[in-house]
Structure 1
């Protein structure tokens, strides 16, 4: 049995991002047997094939970051693409799996490992906090083709809201792939995108409502009969008096009882003006039929 001391890995774990590769270990004089013994003892953990770091508990986004960094360490000629590139640009993702992590390399055909999807390199690169990646618009377009309209709209909305890209830039990126399989997802996502949305939850709720056939406006200003501003509401069904508020982590939670009271008064005032309000929570996003049923009932009540 091989005796492995933690100090054997101290220099390797001092490398950038605390990530080292099998080649780094072999270059430091460690064997595969030592690596495997360290894994069994819990001194190190494998991120993906051939890349290691210190053991720990990771959130989904921390895991995504680690895998992206590990891929770049393992393949120095790699570029982050698709959803991985979008995350590298700092744009939030909605329910996009961590695996596979998307990279591109100068290869001819797509290849896969347990954790990575490696595609042929077709685009230029820009620098991001995570490393080299495609530009944001290209990443958003590829991510939408890979993961669908809902994920695409959620991240596109955020990128537009934060002014990290423009509709024109996204349209130009779409034109490059408009004849590709699944490009229709991008066309729909661009038509449904709205840079006024202020959260992933609002964006996903709007996608659910659009898919149900309703026209939806974001950040709807409400005034009373005298033209006095009353409130700005997350979403509204156009041509109706039905409003939708997304509660996420409860916007007023930090304000305590006073904030709750103000929210109730605000809602009472909206109802007094004849509006019907539907509240949506994060859990509802995974049960679209609940949202559709609630809005259908509200439309009937408002008629």
Structure 2
């Protein structure tokens, strides 16, 4: 059963609110030491039991509300914080810093350890309200991310936004074209060229980038395999049809997404094995299974893939 989305509305209590409720600073300090209250930033607190139960993403959302509670009213969540607020998965970003931008001409403010106020200004069409807070639009936040990050992490974010339907490729392209003079625009251009809404997970995003970075032939994502009667029997993560090789990514997301109700992990793995064998039987191709650990050693993985492709060429010859 899917856990309902956490609602952070009202969970942050400022020092002045606690004082107004009759507490003293000494009492607040005692409650923090006793782990009844959690100080999320200077002058902002939440129930410790609530904090302990939160994911890193929801802790970031709480921290964001603690920042907004003391920020100028024209402050909006942007960059990483905007994407996290949408519930879009990211990879490789620290979540202990809240990113904001003003929606008006007021100065951005001073950088703090847990708060990065950016100097740009959001236009009227660049922000919206979600979950009770103002955030940059999906396309604007995607572009923003490319200005503070590298290609791989930015590409993951852009692909996740595209796949979720939060924005279109045209939306992102418009943002890139409108901000060509901004620092980081070279990253934006490359991400735009590599982005692909067909990819279904962070792992697939990273493998797609690995193939580009390592100079491998461009694989075809979500390749469909049919049986002798023309019935669709499988859809593999990536394939090089011209080389007779396909790739399946083993990750937690796949296990959670495709396991049937009541199916054990062993039963799921056996079904996956049978599906792989069927694909190999129907196509005569070779399967390469990769994991997150493989992505951490891109050169080694690329060498292995080249070896498999070369072996297939010899078999065909």
Normalising to structure 2: TM-score of the pair? Answer: 0.81
Q: Quick one: which of 166, 169, 187 aligns to 1:167?
A: 169
Matched pairs, number: 289
Deviation at 1:268, TM superposition (A): 2.2
Deviation at 1:47, TM superposition (A): 0.8
Partner Cα distance (1:108, 1:176) in 2: 22
Q: Quick one: which of 258, 276, 281 aligns to 1:267?
A: 276
Deviation at 1:53, TM superposition (A): 0.7
What SS does structure 2 have at the residue aligned with 1:219?
A: strand
**Relative to 1, partners in 2 of residues 1:42 and 1:228: Cα closer, same or farther, differing over 3 Å?**
closer
Partner Cα distance (1:64, 1:160) in 2: 22
Structure-2 residue corresponding to 1:283 = 293
Q: Quick one: which of 218, 221, 225 aligns to 2:221?
A: 218
**Relative to 1, partners in 2 of residues 1:301 and 1:241: Cα closer, same or farther, differing over 3 Å?**
same
Deviates most, 176-185 or 246-255: 246-255
Deviates most, 272-281 or 190-199: 272-281
Partner Cα distance (2:170, 2:17) in 1: 44
Maintained 8 Å contact 2:214/2:298: no
Deviation at 1:293, TM superposition (A): 3.0
Deviation at 1:219, TM superposition (A): 0.4
Does 1:75 find its partner at 2:71? yes
Partner Cα distance (1:109, 1:128) in 2: 22
Deviation at 1:241, TM superposition (A): 2.0
Deviation at 1:224, TM superposition (A): 5.9
Maintained 8 Å contact 1:140/1:156: yes
Partner Cα distance (1:194, 1:16) in 2: 34
Aligned counterparts, 1:201-216, within 5 A: 201-214=203-216, 215-216=218-219
**Relative to 1, partners in 2 of residues 1:200 and 1:18: Cα closer, same or farther, differing over 3 Å?**
same
Alignment RMSD (CA, Å): 2.6
Maintained 8 Å contact 2:143/2:175: yes
Deviation at 1:45, TM superposition (A): 1.2
Partner Cα distance (2:278, 2:186) in 1: 42
What SS does structure 1 have at the residue aligned with 2:94?
A: coil
Structure-2 residue corresponding to 1:120 = 119
Deviates most, 177-186 or 101-110: 101-110
Q: Quick one: which of 19, 30, 36 aligns to 1:43?
A: 36
Partner Cα distance (1:286, 1:190) in 2: 24
**Relative to 1, partners in 2 of residues 1:162 and 1:109: Cα closer, same or farther, differing over 3 Å?**
closer
Aligned counterparts, 1:1-303, within 5 A: 16-55=9-48, 56-57=51-52, 58-77=54-73, 78-105=75-102, 107-108=106-107, 111-120=110-119, 122-123=121-122, 124=124, 125-129=127-131, 131-214=133-216, 215-223=218-226, 229-237=232-240, 239-249=242-252, 251=255, 254=260, 255-256=263-264, 259-272=268-281, 273-303=283-313
Partner Cα distance (2:178, 2:100) in 1: 19
Deviation at 1:100, TM superposition (A): 1.5
Deviation at 1:226, TM superposition (A): 7.5
Partner Cα distance (2:111, 2:226) in 1: 55
Deviation at 1:292, TM superposition (A): 1.9
Partner Cα distance (2:21, 2:55) in 1: 31
Partner Cα distance (2:185, 2:140) in 1: 12
